[in-house]
Amino acid sequence: MPEPLLPATVRLTSAAEALAALAAHVRVETEHLEVDPRVGALLAAIATELTGSAAISSSDPAPQAVGMARAFLRESISLVDDPARIGDWSHVDESILQGVGRLSMAIAPVFAAASLILPGLADALAGPDAAFLDVGTGTGWLAIATARAFPAARVVGIDIFEPSLALARRNVDAEQMADRVTLRRVDVTELDEPDAYDAVFLPLPFLPRAVVPEAIERAGRALRPGGWLLPGTFAGPGDPLSLLLTDLRIVRSGGHPWPVSEMVGMLRSAGLDGAHEVPRTWPAPLQLFAARRPS
């Protein structure tokens, strides 16, 4: 039986409130915010109900969790207020840009995990001339996190949206990473750096479908022989509703929900070897593809 609209709305509000409460608890604990003791106790109880503990350890990715909550909740409001918007980041405020950027930091451990199973990648990124290209770097947080994940590597972040790059420059300076992270205003479809990188990340949700073949072609040429192209896209838990919500998020971001077979086929058509979906062993909501430039 279909569920009436109002009861369904009431049922779903608890999920949004729970996400907000969990992020608020993380901020209270990690930023040492002073709140009414009653609110603090309730936030801790909700966190315990959701995760089994109110404790936040030093190894927990607190900034990413808060960034994810901010980005998803603000984008949810944007969806209600402006359902017609697709792929337009020109009106996004700083808090959303920084929230999405903080969330992207969770992708760096995915690169680290993938480097252990993609032949030659870990060694290449540990070499004296190691280089990693972060396409669509946004506010630079992923580039910063990637540089930390691979301490020997030089990381280059490119983007076409100047407001994001301005924030990225500020973030790189604040994190004292200017000697490791370089930022450039470059369109990936105009990228012309042959044989320059050991790995290139393509953020598929932010690349319109029409530009992806050219982006893959340009990125493939920018790889050194044996280097890996790493296209990634949003992923969810896998149930039907989550799959639909993930596709909606991708389309709203300006991208295309690529079926695995179509993306693998496109990578092969670009002359890359070993194209496949990397088996997911990480908690970050990312589906990662990989293909290698022939040696």
* Rounded CA separation 58/123 (Å): 29
User: Is there a contact between 28 and 43 (Cβ–Cβ < 8 Å)?
Assistant: yes
Tokens 């838990």, residue located = 237
Residue 197 counted as domain residue: yes
pLDDT confidence of residue 74: 82
Residue 96 counted as domain residue: no
pLDDT confidence of residue 91: 61
pLDDT confidence of residue 71: 80
**Is the same domain home to 155 and 271?**
yes
* Rounded CA separation 207/217 (Å): 14
pLDDT confidence of residue 58: 80
pLDDT confidence of residue 60: 79
**Is the same domain home to 287 and 164?**
yes
pLDDT confidence of residue 12: 87
Residue 52 counted as domain residue: yes
Residue 84 counted as domain residue: no
User: How many separate domains does the chain show?
Assistant: 2
**Is the same domain home to 46 and 171?**
no
**Is the same domain home to 8 and 118?**
no
**Is the same domain home to 118 and 48?**
no
Q: How many residues does the chain have?
A: 295
**Is the same domain home to 195 and 274?**
yes
pLDDT confidence of residue 90: 63
Residue 34 counted as domain residue: yes
- The stretches in the chain having pLDDT less than 50 are none
**Is the same domain home to 56 and 109?**
no
**Is the same domain home to 144 and 212?**
yes
pLDDT confidence of residue 89: 64
**Is the same domain home to 259 and 128?**
yes
**Is the same domain home to 47 and 108?**
no
> DSSP alpha helices (H): ranges in 133-211?
141-149, 162-174
- Which residues are paired to 197 by β-bridges? 223
pLDDT confidence of residue 100: 81
**Is the same domain home to 53 and 190?**
no
pLDDT confidence of residue 111: 98
pLDDT confidence of residue 57: 85
User: Is there a contact between 72 and 36 (Cβ–Cβ < 8 Å)?
Assistant: no
Instruction: Note the pTM of the prediction, 2 decimals.
Output: 0.87
**Is the same domain home to 171 and 268?**
yes
What is the domain extent for residue 15? 1-60
